[in-house]
Amino acid sequence: MILGIDTFVHVVLSLIGILSGLVVAYGFLAAKRFDGWTGVFLATTVLTSVTGFFFPFHKFLPSHAVGTISLIVLAIAAYARYGRKMAGGWRRTYVITAMVALYLNVFVLVAQLFMKVPALRALAPTQSEPPFVAAQVTVLLLFVVLSVLATIRFGNEQLRTNS
């Protein structure tokens, strides 16, 4: 029962992190600062990574590597956003690290979908088959393009603050 509750909380946090992250990413593209959404995104994404370590495990797994990388990236993003207040090059650092954190959440979402959805699992039972690889490469390329555009637009435009 506890594992079920832990899983539910982890999934809800993850989905909130992804949805709020998409709002923040839209803000980057529109050169708007969504301070409230940013707080929700950073907090839920940190909590998603932290709660991932609460599941029982006997060895360090790839999911733990992703969680560790995510926490490092999020620490940099939070420092750039709140500690350095996006001054100078910290604005671009914030955008890049926030987009990397969002990408990592979506990367895990795609992996989980291929593990849990029967139709997707049938296409890629070991997650090394072409459909899985194609989905992950597509997500990566999409995030590279969005991150470049976000960095250019958010870093070069006059910002409007929205909550």
Q: What angle do CA 143, 112, 40 make, to 5 degrees?
A: 60
Select from 69, 96, 61 the least CA-distant residue to 81: 96
What is the per-residue pLDDT across 39-66, written as a single tens digit (0 to 9) for each?
A: 999 999 999 999 999 988 889 989 999 9
pLDDT in the model for residue 11: 94
Helical segments of 53-129, H only: 62-78, 90-116, 118-123
Phi, psi (degrees; rounded to nearest 5) at 162: -135, 145
- pTM summary value: 0.92
pLDDT in the model for residue 3: 62
Low-confidence ranges of the chain (pLDDT < 50): 1
